[in-house]
Amino acid sequence: MRHINYILGLLMFLPGLCQAEDYRVDSQKKFDYISTIELKPGDTILLKRGMTFTGMLAPKGSGTEGKPIRIGAYGSGKRPVIRAKGKHLAGVLLKNLSYWEVHSLEVTNTDGSDKDQGTLFGIYVLVEKKEGTYRHVYINDCYVHHVNGMVAGKRRGGIHVHMRKVKNSKFDDLRITNNRVEQIGGVGIGNSSSCGGVKLLRNDYEAENLWTRVYVAGNRVDTTGRNNIIARVSKDAIYEHNVLANSSRRDTGHSIFCFNTDGIKIQYNEAYGNVGNKKNKDGGGESDRGGFDADYNCINTFIQYNYSHDNLWFCGIMKRPTRNVVIRYNVSENDREGIYFYGFDRNKQAENVHIYNNTHYVRKGLHVEVFAEGRTPVNTTFENNIFYFEDKGEWGPKAEGINTVFRNNVYHNILPHPSDSQAIVADPKFVRAGKAGFHINLKTMDALRGYRPRAGSLCIDAAIPIQNAGGIDILKKAVDPDSADIGALEFQGINRR
């Protein structure tokens, strides 16, 4: 009888058994059925465009190399919609599976209220109690929105990939690309592992079960209860071309931060709108309210070629154990209360932080301290940066820092840092600063061209040579280390200075 029911189930989907690997879903009954069968490598689930389905899609079975299982859409019209209504763990759940690709879906998971409805996700990839290396999970071009109420929490939200209750497992080849994720309770895009991590030793470090070939790119994440994106447990991951907007509406948190990573590159992203709506008891701003954050338990972190604007500050650096942080060729425009935020201020364990060739611009009417909330920089070298204030800029009461050195920076309407024996006090003569705006093209970063120096600027050819500096500026123009300019953009013209 079970065999007969299985055959009948297949016939629900297809006119003939010759098409058994192509499941076309055009009714709620077929949607419910698809989660009851074991799928095979190369199978495809196609939801009909223009239709709305209720519940959770939780298919079974794994694909193989060259034959992933795919979930997508067919027909014409709007994306197919999955509404989990706050009653299911997720709209789409992939549990203990490899070789899956999900694309072109719209997913919601809320009862429609603003209250906390529990641990909910839009699209959730979960490994639990089953050891192994899980491979090739791609989530592309999905619209995930209105998950839970507008609540906090780091391990719930829009698109998440988690490993739980495992001791020796990891992901390889994880791609989350070109998705729109908005109105999310918790974190927009996140990952975590119960067995992966980085431990810094005195002259070395240990890493275990770090995920490989992680690529998170081209996503727009807007209005989240906590962070827009959290990047954890990875080796040489790349997070690029993401728009990070209006994060942490119900709790503090930087728009994107890394944790337990080795060699991560956070680059060519735009972050804005992380401002909060409360003040601390001491009257200061809210902690963790910047666009970017080099968090602790990390090594070889690169935050580069990004655009931060209209946050409370540009970038956080945590002072618990972290090592080899490079922050370079970024533009910070009109971040409202500070530029750099050193978290866990009583700690001093951050090592070898190098901040160079960044351009910081602050318009009139903003009262900004370079070191937000009076924090103390530690073990940091600042070189070839531009600090430009239209009004008078301030450093903050503990700006002298601990083992912190400034060299060859340009200062406009702010006194040079006391340690800078090669300070350049001058107008950098930007082409057209302060006009980059919102939603720039992150492939070209062309909207930032106004921060190039004009002919005659003292920034031109004036940078201290820095080894292994990446070789390009934020516009991808080649940089000669022996004649580089100060700031995030190279001069482009015939007459230099």
Rg (CA), the chain: 24
DSSP of 404-435, one letter per residue? Answer: EEEES-EEESSPPPTT-TT-EES---BSSTT-
The secondary element (H helix, E strand) that includes residue 272 is: strand 270-272
User: pTM of the predicted model, to two decimals?
Assistant: 0.94
Amino acid at 223: T
Percent share of the chain, pLDDT over 70: 93
Across residues 233-242, what is the average pLDDT? 98
**Looking at the predicted structure, is the pLDDT value of residue 221 above 70?**
yes
Bridge partner list, 81: 52, 106
What is the secondary structure of 303-372 as a DSSP string? EES-EEESSSEEEEEE-SSEEEEEEES-EEE--SSEEEEEESTT---EEEEEEES-EEEE-TT---EEEG
pLDDT given at position 283: 41
What b/e string do you get for 253-278 counting C-beta neighbours within 10 Å, with b at 16 or more? bbbbbbbbbbbbbbbbbbbbbbbbee
Element (H, E) at 3: helix 2-13
For residue 21, pLDDT beyond 90: no
Task: Provide the residue type at 363 as one letter.
Answer: R
Confidence of residue 402 (pLDDT cuts 50, 70, 90): very high
pLDDT at 277: 67
Single-letter residue type at 413: N
Distance between CA atoms of residues 304 and 474, nearest Å = 8
**pLDDT tens column, 164-198:** 999 999 999 999 999 999 999 999 999 999 999 99
Q: In whole angstroms, what separates CA 220 from the centre of its chain?
A: 10
Query: Does residue 414 surpass a pLDDT of 80?
Result: yes
Helix or strand or coil: residue 206? strand
* CA–CA distance, 484 with 192 (Å, rounded to integer): 40
Q: Is the dihedral of CA 384, 274, 116, 187 positive or negative?
A: negative
Reading the block at residue 349, the tokens are 């364990």
Torsion 440-451-430-311 (CA) sign: positive
Cα–Cα distance measured from residue 454 to residue 428, given in angstroms and rounded to the nearest whole number: 8
pLDDT tens for 126-158 read: 999 999 999 999 999 999 999 999 999 999 999
* Model pLDDT, residue 282: 39
Q: What tens digit of pLDDT does each residue of 263-299 get? A: 999 999 999 999 986 544 434 456 899 999 999 999 9
Residue 360 vs residues 165, 206, 281, 357, 451: alpha-carbon distances, Å: 44, 35, 29, 10, 10
Q: What is the amino acid identity at position 428?
A: P
Task: Map tokens 């991808």 to a residue.
Answer: 476
Model pLDDT, residue 124: 99
Is the confidence at residue 67, as pLDDT, over 60?
yes
Domain ranges of the chain: 33-451
- CATH number for the region 33-451 comes to 2.160.20
Model confidence pLDDT, tens digit, residues 444-470: 999 999 999 999 999 999 999 999 999
CA distance 158 to 54: 17
Helix/strand/coil (H, E, C) string of 119-158? Answer: CCEEEEEEEECCCCEEEEEEEECCEEEEECCCCCCCCCEE
Tens digit of pLDDT for each residue in 299-351? 999 999 999 999 999 999 999 999 999 999 999 999 999 999 999 999 999 99
Whether residue 214 is predicted with pLDDT greater than 50 in this model: the reply is yes
